[in-house]
Amino acid sequence: MRQVYLGRSGLVVSELCLGTMSFGGRADRDAARAMVDRFMAAGGTFFDTADVYNHGASEELLGTILGKDRDAAVVATKATMPMGDGPNDRSSSRRHLVRALHDSLDRLGTDRVDLYQLHTWDATTPLDETLSTLEDFVRAGKVLHVGVSNFVGWQLERAVRLQEAAGYDRLVSLQPQYSLVERNIELETLPATRENGMGVLAWSPLAAGFLTGKYTRGGDPSGKGRFARFVDDMPDAGWATLDELRAVADEHGTRPATAALAWLRSKPGVVPIVGATRPDHLDVTLAAADLDLSTEAVDRLDEVSEPRLGYPWDFGSIPGRPPRHPAGVSTGAR
């Protein structure tokens, strides 16, 4: 598995990230250890967790499994979500984040987090309070890099401009939902990440299993679990995308899930987060690290899954203006 820079930072990560949301829940200790071993044997180094995943059990299990291999791993975790019933047991306030980081370090059994992320936008806390707290963590050496998850474009811009004005370490990554059937971040959020040199960690890259090809139009909803509504409400455009994905996968001699992840890998600065509940499920996703789709296949998947722009994104450019030279466009890619 190749290693890449995360955005414009100096942090080097594997081009696939192992998501550990199932650890301590649907994946017990033995299954989690087998997944970590399989991922690292394939060259994977990047792991994503969060304090809220199984109420800390994911972090604790990941830390235990990594053990002496901690220095060979890049560990990302997140905070903001509720971890208790008290009024200060949630949010991106200084009070909550200080406690959350302390608890995460303890559960992970480490002295620093490589990437510490805000799990979502917090409209209840002044952003400068949150950002100054993150900067304190960096200066103390407890956090090496900071990122965010589930922010939209204007929120990213606001955060980066405040960090820039204060002389803080800037955000290096965004963790959004991104897949062939969820491309809305391309309208405004993804351009903001590229303009600011941020890496993109794509969660749910297989759209809750939809892009594995295991579902059919009008099929039996049993077995879809908590994502049943997501699959049952899939529009016709999503099913058309899946049909094209199946065709591309067949042409490349692979599975739809592998091809879907390879499509994401073709996008500048994007690292898909792959997860599983059983070790053998990783075989299909890890194969994406060795699959480079043809340019023609990527173009076909781009076209069939292209999101509807709408106003103001489709308003058009200024008439008569010459095209911008490619060198003048900031992509954030290394």
Tokens of 79: 């905070």
Tokens of 266: 């073709």
Q: Which of 53, 116, 178, 215 is catalytic?
A: 53
Instruction: Report which secondary-structure segment, H or E, holds 40.
Output: helix 29-41
Residue 334's nearest CA partner among 114, 10, 115 is 10
Alpha-carbon 33 to chain mean position: 22
Nearest-10 crossing angle of helices 57-66, 29-41: 50
Count CB atoms within 10 A of the CB of residue 116: 25
pLDDT in the model for residue 316? 73
Burial of 227 (0-12, 13-18, 19+ CB in 10 A): middle
Tokens of 59: 């972090």
pLDDT in the model for residue 218? 74
pLDDT in the model for residue 217? 82
Q: What is the DSSP letter of 324?
A: P
pLDDT in the model for residue 320? 72
| Phi (first) and psi of residue 298, to 5 degrees | -60, -45
Beta-carbon contacts of 292 under 8 Å, excluding residues fewer than 6 positions away, are 262, 266
Residue 215 annotated to the active site: no
pLDDT in the model for residue 222? 57
Domains delineated in the chain: 3-207+256-295 (3.20.20.100)
Are the beta carbons of 160 and 170 closer than 8 angstroms?
yes
Q: What is the pLDDT along the chain (334 residues), one digit of tens a residue?
A: 999 999 999 999 999 999 999 999 999 999 999 999 999 999 999 999 999 999 999 999 999 999 999 999 999 999 999 999 999 999 999 999 999 999 999 999 999 999 999 999 999 999 999 999 999 999 999 999 999 999 999 999 999 999 999 999 999 999 999 999 999 999 999 999 999 999 999 999 999 899 999 888 877 655 555 556 667 778 999 999 999 999 999 999 999 999 999 999 999 999 999 999 999 999 999 999 999 999 999 999 999 999 988 888 888 767 776 766 554 444 444 4
pLDDT in the model for residue 225? 55
List beta partners, residue 18. 47, 274
Beta-carbon contacts of 94 under 8 Å, excluding residues fewer than 6 positions away, are 129, 130, 132, 133
List own/partner pairs for 60-63 with CB under 8 A and 24 or more apart.
Answer: 60/24, 60/107, 60/108, 61/20, 61/23, 61/24, 61/29, 61/32, 62/20, 62/23, 62/32, 62/36, 62/108, 63/107, 63/108, 63/109, 63/110
